[in-house]
Amino acid sequence: GASDANAGTAEKPWKTIQKAAETLRAGDTVLIHDGIYRECVRPFRSGATADLSITYRRAPGAHPIITGADPWAPEWRQEDSGLWSTVYQRHAWDHPESWPTPKSGAMHRAEQVIVEGKLLTHVDRQDVLTSTVDTMWTDDSSGRLWIHLGDTVSPADCRVERGMRQQCFAPAVRGLGHIHVM
C-alpha cells in the first residue's frame, strides 16, 4: 500500500525515500522500512541545528537497501570458459580520460556490475580479467563489457545489476547541513 500520494504515516507510508526528502523539515525523522530503494535521494533542505536535524533512519529491525543499481539482463556472449561479454554504453557522467592513473590495476570508471550482490572489480587489461575471477573489463574499442565469473557460472543464471545512477544519496544543494543518515 505504499504510495508517494499517501500521507507518509505508518498506516499510509510513502513509496520512495525521495518523497521524504521533499517533505521533511528541520527536526523530522523518516523511518525507512525493508525494501530495495532504487533511487537517487536528493534532499534540498537542511536541518536547523544539531538538535533539529533531518534524519533518515532505518525502522527498528529493518534492513533497507538504497542502491544506484538496477537489474540488468543484457544478451551475454560466452567468449571462453568463465568469460562473458555484452554490448554496453558508457554513462554520460563517465570521463575516465581526466582521472588519475590507477595504482592497483583497478579502473577508475563509472561502470559497476554487481553479480549476486558482489561488486565486480574493474580491471584495466584483458589479461588481468582472464586470470582473476569476479572481475570486469571494458573494451572501449569494441564497445563491449567483459566479465569473469568462474568456469561454471553463467551470468544468465545469476542476479545481475548495473550501476545506473551517479549517486544514491546526495544533497541537491551544496552546503546543506544537519542531515543524518542512520
Would you state the cell numbers that stand for residue 8, as one nine-digit string?
A: 507518509
DSSP structure string for 84-140 = EEEE----TT--GGGSPPPSSSB---S--EEETTEEPEEBSSHHHHHHSSSEEEEET
- pLDDT by 10s per residue, the chain, length 182: 899 999 999 999 999 999 999 999 999 999 999 999 999 999 999 999 999 999 999 999 999 999 999 999 999 999 998 999 999 877 655 555 554 555 554 445 667 899 999 999 989 899 999 999 999 999 888 999 999 998 888 999 999 999 988 888 999 989 999 999 99
Prediction pTM value: 0.80
